[in-house]
Amino acid sequence: MSKNYFNAAKPAFSFEKELHSNCIFCDKKITNPLCPECIAKGFRQWIRQFTDEEKIIKTKLECFLKEIRHFEGRSISCVACHKKTTHLCPYCFTNFLYKIAKDANLGASILSEFLFIFDFDFNHDGYSEDLEEMGGY
């Protein structure tokens, strides 16, 4: 039986035990259930071509993935790997990836390539605005 908490913070242990069908970052319903691990797999392959920045970016990526792993098994199933690991929407996760790529000073043409490959900004109100500024679309 679920407890109702009115005008009070919900205890963290309860939040961590619940099943999540909403993104843990933006709290919107996940409509494109592709888990962070599956997206990260493609990102790791793509980032290999930038040997100078690869180690820094991969370190930040692995730290981030380690921090959010405790939600695994309590989320909706990924359409690629079928594990219950989709606790972040693809937009929020690729937004994180974009920020670490941008912080690594990869350059406009490389960031533009990233945005073409990993674009989950379907509403065009987030990082795709940067792509439009770079001359994309």
Structurally, how many domains does the chain consist of?
A: 1
Question: Is residue 85 assigned to a domain?
Answer: yes
* Angle at 101 (CA atoms; ends 72, 118), nearest 5 degrees: 65
Question: Is residue 127 assigned to a domain?
Answer: no
CA 48 vs CA 62, 91, 99, 116, 128: distances in Å: 15, 22, 17, 17, 23
Q: Which domain holds residue 51?
A: 31-105
Question: Is residue 70 assigned to a domain?
Answer: yes
b/e per residue 50-60 (b: at least 16 CB within 10 A): eeebeeebbeb
Q: For each of the chain's 137 residues, which pLDDT tens digit applies?
A: 444 444 444 454 455 555 668 888 899 999 899 999 999 999 999 999 988 888 999 999 999 999 888 777 678 889 999 988 888 999 999 999 999 999 998 888 888 899 889 988 877 777 767 766 766 65
Q: Scan for tokens 């219950």, then name that residue.
A: 84
Asked if residue 107 lies in contact with residue 92, where contact means CB atoms within 8 angstroms, the answer is: no
The predicted pLDDT at position 124 comes to: 73
Count of C-beta atoms within a 10 Å radius of residue 102: 16
Spatial CB neighbours of 17, under 8 Å, sequence gap ≥ 6: 74
Question: Is residue 62 assigned to a domain?
Answer: yes
State pTM to two decimals.
0.78
Closest CA to 78 of 61, 66, 93, 63: 93
Question: Is residue 80 assigned to a domain?
Answer: yes
Question: Is residue 122 assigned to a domain?
Answer: no
Question: Is residue 66 assigned to a domain?
Answer: yes
